Structure 1
Amino acid sequence: MTAGPGADADVCVVGAGPAGLMLGLLLARAGVRVTVLEKHPDFLRDFRGDTVHPSTLDVLAELGFEERVAGLPGRRVRELTASYADGTFRVADFTRLRVPHPYVLFLPQWDLLEMLAAAAAEYPGFTLLRSHEVTELLFDGLGGPASGVVALAADGRRTEVRARLVVAADGRRSVVRDALVRAGRGLSRREFGAPMDVLWFRVPRWPEDPEGLAAQIGAGRLLIMIDRGHYWQTAYVIPKGGRQTVLAAGLDALRATVIELAPWLRGRAGAVADWDDVSFLEVRVDRLRRWHSPGVLLIGDAAHAMSPVGGVGINLAVQDAVAAARMLAGPLRGGAGAAELAPVLTRFQRRRMLPTMGTQLLQRWAARGVIGPTLRADVPVRAPAAVRLMDRLPFLRVLPAWVVGVGLLPERMPPAAAAPSARAAARQDLPTAR
């Protein structure tokens, strides 16, 4: 067993998604040696979570990346509408947020990830190993803390990456979490039911189409339309376990439903040519009771799988990364090992558990109170009183915009990682955030 490139890092991050690369970048800027492992050779995959929320845009601006982001092919969306049997109603208005970026940016995630990877590569302490699939954890003796990972490269070569801390940022099917279970260090999980699953596909968008985010609600059916400029990224929400029913009904029935819910798409639903154009998302909402084990920290979906309601999963994961970087950079620079890091990991979870629980509670309320009844309805659905009220009183639309766009506990950048202009304006007490 040989140690390959990237061995002996301070931190090994598993998963080069938005949270993993953000954490690696922030720690590298703070002087911590970081190795990030990604099982794929590149980022050119069809992501569904292509939203960059205002609080994430603020983080990118504090890093000095505003011009880089502006050069990417994104589309700004400023409001959310919902169409019921009795009309179309405006339910969220991001322009009312008093934040530097009062909009949601829909951006191909591969462009965002390449930008973050390129920025992180500017620091000598950062290493990104692509085509390295993590298969197991290394431990410091029997019963000792984790001390790194084993990964298989594309050519089959076995590579060890030793580190004082392993961070699992590898999503809801976390390999690191599974390795902890195999090692008898499993972390118990609370699972919350979800009444729906989602089918995703694309439909061409024409210039005369409506703009922004739109929910189309029918009898027992729900369609979410995401304006991506030249196409609609479309989510067809189905009852939990209803995938086989949709498949049995056939593509013609799916296309007919799309046209019925969004009549302006007539003539374009044929772009969904076969089932290969439709991807399936099994909706899960869960969270670990404990997000860490000696030598290991779990963040993002690896610690708490989010529903697609509000599209907040990526934003929450990035906020996890910012908080982790702020709280861990100092101890890691000081040479802290697993024992010294343990109380820091506990404080991190205590801080991030509150927004996670609150967001999941709101998602579960929306699922039980809005989505579930809609999917069970056998007659046209009229707008609930709360939706009609938000349309009538514009100032109320800031509430869902804040929950979706900013979040319940937005994190601040660690001063050592911020761009010089932002660092100069930072408060002096930030390095000691609790």
Structure 2
Amino acid sequence: MSGHADFLRDFRGDTVHPSTLELISELGWIEEFLRLPHTKMPDVTVNLGGQAVTFADFSRLKVRCPYIAFMPQWDVLDFLAGKAQAYPSFRLLRSTEATDLITADGRAVGVRATTAEGPVEVRADLVIAADGRHSTIRTKAGLEPVAGSPPMDVLWFHLPRREGDEMPFFQGGRGALISIDRGEFWQLAYAIPAAAFATIKQAGLPAFRERVAGLAPALRDRVEQIDSWDQVHQLTVRVARLPRWHQPGVLCIGDAAHAMSPAGGVGINLAIQDAVATANLLSPALLRPGVPSEDDLAGVQSRRQRAAQITQAFQLGILRDLYPKDLRDDTSEHVPPIFTAFRALPPLRHVMGRFIGMGVRPEHLAG
């Protein structure tokens, strides 16, 4: 079920990694999928102090699509929902928001939800909580995430893209700017120290525009188009994971089980890997008489939790040096060790390409 009438919302990250593209290829849908509007990024370039280093190169991946595709997430979700409509048992409830669990004999047997027409109840042998980092179902199941220390917050905004524009994906300095080519515009993410947005707003829009232009001089001729804080959307980064992903009748996956930092854009792709593992491992249990056991649900967590833990440790540890810890910090003046390592050892870009592009434990369709 979806709490919205459609998928037309600004999801901002919108990265489809090689691991996800490979799954779509395994389903036989890749040619149709790639006809949707998208741009391709075959590597990740980081620029600090005028020096550019390739941090991740996907070209050596043994997959159908060795690149990250930037595609509006509403297009991705519409595509997948359309494919799912071919299955007679599939039903997508739109404008339907889960509010509580239905329990009987100590286990969840469905959910209560609100709709425009009034409340509804949906009964199920298994409730899968894929409702994000602020999961209602997780809370109602009594599952409490353990929070990590987020390295940053992110300010999202758009600026027009002009023909011939070229910018590195990641530009460090006074702050950090991630630039995503959307064809007609740049999707921009300005990374700041956690909880620093109030200080930035207090300094005023001219100072913010100067920060952006200082990181991306090519945008200096259009930063004046940021004329209201309403155009700047804050993402409060929350990194957390559940020690236990399940209760009788309930399983959490994706951000509901392990909220990720936006670093590397891996969140949605890790969630998709969770979903594939869940389908592969639980299909036999759902097809046999009865309901999935606690051991069945624990099997999903056992398979997927290590990948989430390693990815979060990578985001919070290795990558955090690329992001400023203070608004006065300038990473171009104090080059972080990870930048020096990748400049000295170019083969690391292929290792990072596999880590970001495929993840720790890529899943595949069951044979």
Question: Normalised by the shorter chain, which TM-score bucket?
Answer: over 0.9
Question: Would you say the 8 A contact 2:153–2:193 is kept in 1?
Answer: yes
The separation in 1 between residues aligned to 2:335 and 2:193, in whole angstroms, is 20
Letter in 2 for 1:370: L
Task: Give the aligned partner of residue 170 of structure 2.
Answer: 215
Task: Give the aligned partner of residue 355 of structure 2.
Answer: 403
Task: Give the aligned partner of residue 172 of structure 1.
Answer: 133
Task: Give the aligned partner of residue 82 of structure 1.
Answer: 46
Task: Give the aligned partner of residue 350 of structure 1.
Answer: 302
Task: Give the aligned partner of residue 156 of structure 2.
Answer: 200
Question: Would you say the 8 A contact 1:85–1:382 is kept in 2?
Answer: no
Counterpart of 1:309 (choices 256, 263, 267) is: 263
The separation in 1 between residues aligned to 2:152 and 2:328, in whole angstroms, is 11
Give 1:9-408 correspondences, 5 Å limit.
37-141=1-105, 144-155=106-117, 157-180=118-141, 186-210=142-166, 214-219=169-174, 221-337=175-291, 340-373=292-325, 377=329, 380-384=332-336, 386-391=338-343, 393-408=345-360
Task: Give the aligned partner of residue 6 of structure 1.
Answer: none
Question: What percent identity do the matched residue pairs reach?
Answer: 47
Displacement of 1:78 in angstroms is: 1.1
Distance 1:96 1:388, change over 3 A: farther
The separation in 2 between residues aligned to 1:78 and 1:133, in whole angstroms, is 38
| SS of alignment partner, residue 122 of structure 1 | coil
Question: Would you say the 8 A contact 2:254–2:274 is kept in 1?
Answer: yes
Displacement of 1:230 in angstroms is: 2.2
Question: Would you say the 8 A contact 1:42–1:130 is kept in 2?
Answer: yes
Question: Would you say the 8 A contact 1:217–1:374 is kept in 2?
Answer: no
Superposed CA deviations along residues 68-94 of structure 1, whole A, max 9, x for unmatched, are: 211111111112112212522222212
Question: Would you say the 8 A contact 1:374–1:381 is kept in 2?
Answer: no
Superposed CA deviations along residues 136-190 of structure 1, whole A, max 9, x for unmatched, are: 110014xx100001111113x111110110000000011101222xxxxx22322
| SS of alignment partner, residue 330 of structure 1 | helix
Superposed CA deviations along residues 327-356 of structure 1, whole A, max 9, x for unmatched, are: 01111011331xx42111111101101101
The separation in 2 between residues aligned to 1:129 and 1:78, in whole angstroms, is 36
Superposed CA deviations along residues 51-78 of structure 1, whole A, max 9, x for unmatched, are: 0000000011111111221111111111
Letter in 2 for 1:125: S
| SS of alignment partner, residue 169 of structure 2 | strand
Distance 1:317 1:264, change over 3 A: same
- Specify every segment of 5 or more residues in structure 1 that has no aligned partner in the other structure, as ranges: 1-36, 181-185, 416-434
| SS of alignment partner, residue 83 of structure 1 | strand
Task: Give the aligned partner of residue 23 of structure 1.
Answer: none
Q: How many residues align?
A: 367
